[in-house]
């Protein structure tokens, strides 16, 4: 069990609100919907009320320091069924990439591959005390676009299963310092708005969920503001 799941949840009851997509740039088509993830009639572009307000504040800060630049939204609210779909999809992609036959897979190899998946993907748990961050409506995956609306280079793709996804991977690589500078800018504007960054993912930020609470005060008695959310 990941340590942040020890954080208790006292959901504040804030609603999920639609993200005003005209205020940002957006990855289109939505990457998981295009794979067939089961959103049904639901849109992924929802966040809890205070989380959305903080994302808009981060956008304002960015445009102050980099006029014309925008936050680009990759993913936001994720129903549990979508979380399960993407975990399964990522696992299958990893099997294919490493050349394994699922019918001849040993339990040791299976557990090793699943460990890699869960290093970047939260388990699709329906336990109310262990909700995946995106299923709370408190997490958002973002990057930056420049004044021409082109993606700013970050050194790795969102959702890449490698060490290059770690926020500070390029910090000690002088030949790739521009990647680190861009990641640092993203982290700074999101941090100023109150978000915490996932330790393994340069693109993932949250406010009010268990991971956010644990990252702020890992040894203190803290409480998360948001549990699993469902659009009404």
Residues annotated catalytic, as ranges: 201
The two tokens of residue 194 are: 């109150």
- As a dihedral over the C-alpha atoms of residue 111, residue 120, residue 19, residue 45, rounded to 10 degrees, the angle is -30
Q: Which of 54, 36, 43, 44 is CA-nearest to residue 190?
A: 54
Nearest residue to 51 via CA among 184, 224, 193: 193
Q: Do the Cβ atoms of 82 and 94 come closer than 8 Å?
A: no
The full 3-state SS of 79-142, as one line of letters, equals CHHHHHHHHHHHHHHHHHHCCCCHHHCCHHHHHHHHHHHHHHCCCCCCCCCCCCHHHHCCEEEE
């Amino acid at each position: 069990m990941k340590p942040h799941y020890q954080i208790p949840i006292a959901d504040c009851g804030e609603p999920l609100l639609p993200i005003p997509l005209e205020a940002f740039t957006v990855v289109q088509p939505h990457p998981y919907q295009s794979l067939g993830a089961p959103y049904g009639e639901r849109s992924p572009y929802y966040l809890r009320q205070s989380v959305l307000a903080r994302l808009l504040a981060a956008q304002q800060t960015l445009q102050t320091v980099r006029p014309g630049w925008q936050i680009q939204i990759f993913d936001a609210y994720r129903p549990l069924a979508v979380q399960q779909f993407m975990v399964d999809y990522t696992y299958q992609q990893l099997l294919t990439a490493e050349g394994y036959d699922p019918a001849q897979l040993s339990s040791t190899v299976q557990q090793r591959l699943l460990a890699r998946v869960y290093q970047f993907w939260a388990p699709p748990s329906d336990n109310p005390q262990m909700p995946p961050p995106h299923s709370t409506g408190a997490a958002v995956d973002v990057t930056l676009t420049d004044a021409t609306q082109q993606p700013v280079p970050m050194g790795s793709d969102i959702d890449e299963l490698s060490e290059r996804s770690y926020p500070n991977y390029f910090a000690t690589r002088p030949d790739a310092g521009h990647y680190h500078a861009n990641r640092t800018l993203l982290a700074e504007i999101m941090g100023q708005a109150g978000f915490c960054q996932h330790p393994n993912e340069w693109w993932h930020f949250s406010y009010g969920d268990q991971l956010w609470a644990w990252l702020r005060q890992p040894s203190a008695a803290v409480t998360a503001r948001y549990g699993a959310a469902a659009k009404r």
